[in-house]
Every structure is written in structure tokens, then in C-alpha cells.
Amino acid sequence: MRYLSSTGRIEAQKTDCLVTTRPAARALAVRLRVDDYLDHALADFDDKPGKAVLVPLGKNRAIKRVLIVGSNPSHSVADFRKAMNAAATTLKGAAIRDAVLSLDAFAVDGFGAEQKTRVALAILSTVLYRFKAPKRDDDKATTIGRIAVRADGRAASGVRRAIRVAQALDDGMRWARDMANLPPNVCNPTYLARVARAYARANGLRCRVLEEAEMERLGMGAFMSVTRGSDTPGKLIIVEYRGGKRGAKPIAMIGKGITFDTGGISLKPGAAMDEMKFDMCGAASVLGCLRAAVEARLPVNLLAIVAAAENMPSGNASRPGDVVTTLSGQTVEILNTDAEGRLVLCDAITYSERYEPQVVIDVATLTGACVVALGAPASGLFANDDALAKALQDAGDYIGDRAWRMPVWEDYQPALRSNFADMANIGGREAGAITAACFLSRFARKVKWAHLDIAGSAYAGGAAKGASGRPVPLLFQYLLDAA
């Protein structure tokens, strides 16, 4: 998607589609002398947030269609989100190549033009995404490629600033979704390493990839216990973006990159196992956030780490009952090989300490328990630092990519007790998302740390199957706020 700014009179716009409200459309129709036609077309329109109707004005007109979005005289932020979702959904289903969003037609309580633009374009990026699948009929679909945001002169500078940021977010989120939607025979650890290296080389970033031999030598026994069963070697991918002050400590983001998760010896049921290609959405979101930060030229230092591996059953695979030694020196009894994400992440968290990060944020499709607890609307947020947790939650609330904080209390730690190691890799049946976070917290005692469990928010299954791109908006907004 390409975003632009637009000025000038509404009636002078040249576009396939003008997106506006009913009162603004009525005023435009009077100037274009089509008010009787518009009134007839809108006779049964329910003018409420979340409703939309597309009215053709004629192929020979500069404005060929008007997309009228239900509105209130003064939108709440929630109503504005509903309106933009309705607009985006309608645009996606129509044969429209470009549109103009008449932003000043929408009044939003507490939001100026810049804020409205940020929120609107984040929603449009999410809804209008289309994966270019290897299907013969996929190229026949008409996809919208350009959206201009029109605002009056006083708001123009803020709108242009918001567009630059929104374009970076769109590029990062689209990259993350494309990676996650690829088939697992294409997007494996080797592919992720190749993509990260290529992007780093093209943008002057530092990239290092640890191969299995080096991870073995370093003592990353937890990571190696996961990748050992696969013929495709695992990789620890480290990319550094240095946009901030020289010597300033980086923000570290660590993504779970299990490019396919069979469960290992603790094999998953066959139904919907194809969706386990999405178990690398944490890695995709971290790389997507990196790209957004680079393209927005944010003045921050960012460390992106991807723990990439396949979790496969084989004669070399880990068994329930194995005990491994992590990079931190702590030992883990593997009671369930399907609790593998925390095993690659714990070694990655320990490895990140050598960069002396100011904070560490790990992102993972970690537990089905988080899906049960929160569903798709919110990611699970865990942290050992209140200020970091609040900053992440505030960022998600602002951009509409919400997270909900859950406890990492000591009360839950006894569930990880093992008779044969420092800890087990799973607790009991209860509080599965929390005990998984408690496991990770044992490797983050030296840093300010947060964990985002995105198992419910990162992708959809069933007929709507596909990656959502979350939590790229949350992570990017956090970086914007930090900058």
C-alpha cells in the first residue's frame, strides 16, 4: 500500500473513491448537483458507526464513487475505529484502485489530525492486506494500491508526519505477514536467516547468524534440544539497528521462530497441524518491527533476535524426561517436547545479555492456554517491570493492537518444580500461560523484561486462515514512544 497526503477542495479530488461521512457527502453532492441522486441512494442507509455504503457517481466524473461511512456528530475513538474498519472492509471488496480519505469529515474526541491519520491508516493496513498466494486465479483480483489522506492546511504537516510513520508500519507489517503466510517448506530457519542477512546488507545493518555448532559450543542446550530432531539446522539470528545515540543501550526484541511445530515426540493431533507454520509469528513480528523502525528512521538502538528452529520427531529428537543445561547454567527437565518455544527463548534471552540491553521483550505464539484466556482481541502481557508493562500496554491501546497484563507472581513458580533438574519445562494443567511466562522469567532476572504471548492474536485459523501481523503495531508504537 502507498499512502499520500492530499490538499485542495473536495470536489477537485480525482479518485476512484472518496471516503467521507454522510453530512460531508451531502454538502459535496450539492456542489456537484447530484444531491437528489445521493438522497435517493441513501434512503435506507443506517448512519451509524460500523455501517458503510458505496455510491457510484459515474465513470466520467473526477470522483467516481463516494464511500459513505456511518458516523456520529462526535466520534469516540471506538466509534472511529468501527468507521475505519467498515471503510476498509468495503474498499477491499470493491474493484477500487485508489481512494481519498476525507479525514477532516470525521470528528474524534481527543484526537487531532495526526492521531486520526495514524489510527486510520493502521486499520487500513491491517484490513487491506492481501497475500500473493501461488494460485492461478489470485492475480485476477483488483487490489487497492494507493490511499491519499486529505486534510485542511492547518493539519497538513501533522498528517504528512503521520503518513511517513504509517507507511513504515505498513511495510513492516506486510513483511511480517508475508513471511508468516509462506508454506513451511519455504519459510524455514535457513530462509529466515537468508532474508535477515539480505535486509541487513541492503540497509547497512549488522547481522550475525549463529549456527548449530556454535550454539552447541556456547552451551545452548535448551535451544539445541528443540532443533536436534530436524534435518533443517536451527539458527540464532541477530540484527542490530543503530539509529540512536552512540553507546546507548539497545532495546532487545526476541522472536520465537519455530517455522513448523509438530510437537516433537509429544506429537500434536493431525487436525489443523498445518497452522503450526504460524509458530514463527513472533519472529516475523520482530523482523517486521525492525523494518518499520529502519524505514521510519527512528532514533533508537534496536536489537532483533530470532530463535529459528523446526520442532520435528526423529531418532535424534528430545524425549520427555530428558534433562538439558541452558546457556544460563540452569538445568531443565523436558516433560513435554511440545513446550519447545520457551526452550529456544530462554537461551536467546540469556544470549541477549551480552549486548547489555535496556529492556528485553520476547514475542511468541507460546501457549494454547493464552488463547483460552484472552482469545484473539488481546495478546497476553507479562513483565517483571511495571513501567515497561505500562509502556507496552499504552502503546497497544493507542494504536489498537491491545495487550492485557497477566501476573508472573512467585505463587506460580512451584508448578515448575522438578525432582531431577532446576525446573521442568511445563507446569500443571492450570494457568498454563502464566507458568510458561514464569519459566521465562527465571532467565530474565538481570534485565527489565516483558513477554508477549501472541498465540491468540498473531493469526486466524479455519476459513479466515492467515497471519494478522500483530503485534507489529504495538511494538512499533512502543519504539515511537521510546524515541
Positions marked catalytic: 268, 342
Amino acid at 32: L
Name which of 118, 107, 119 is nearest 75 in CA terms. 107
Say how far apart CA 407 and CA 451 lie, in whole Å. Answer: 11
Strand-pair partners of 253: 304, 361
Cβ atoms of residues 463 and 277 within 8 Å: no
Please state the φ and ψ torsions of residue 309, each to the nearest 5 degrees.
-165, 160
Name which of 139, 156, 21 is nearest 87 in CA terms. 21
Q: What is the 3-state secondary structure (H, E, C) of 44-58?
A: CCCCCCCCEEEEECC
User: Looking up cell 492521531, which residue turns up?
Assistant: 115
For 478, half-sphere exposure in the C-beta direction (CA atoms, 13 angstrom radius) is 27
If DSSP codes are grouped into helix, strand and coil, which group holds residue 308? strand
Name which of 426, 283, 446 is nearest 342 in CA terms. 426
Cβ atoms of residues 289 and 476 within 8 Å: yes
User: Looking up cell 500461560, which residue turns up?
Assistant: 433
Cβ atoms of residues 428 and 415 within 8 Å: yes
User: Looking up cell 497441524, which residue turns up?
Assistant: 273
Say how far apart CA 234 and CA 212 lie, in whole Å. Answer: 6
If DSSP codes are grouped into helix, strand and coil, which group holds residue 341? helix
Angle at 116 between CA 110 and CA 122, to 5 degrees: 135
b/e sequence 79-107, b meaning 16+ C-beta within 10 Å: bbbbbbbbbbebbbeeebebbbbbbbbbe
What separation, in Å, do the N-terminal and C-terminal C-alpha atoms of the chain show? 25
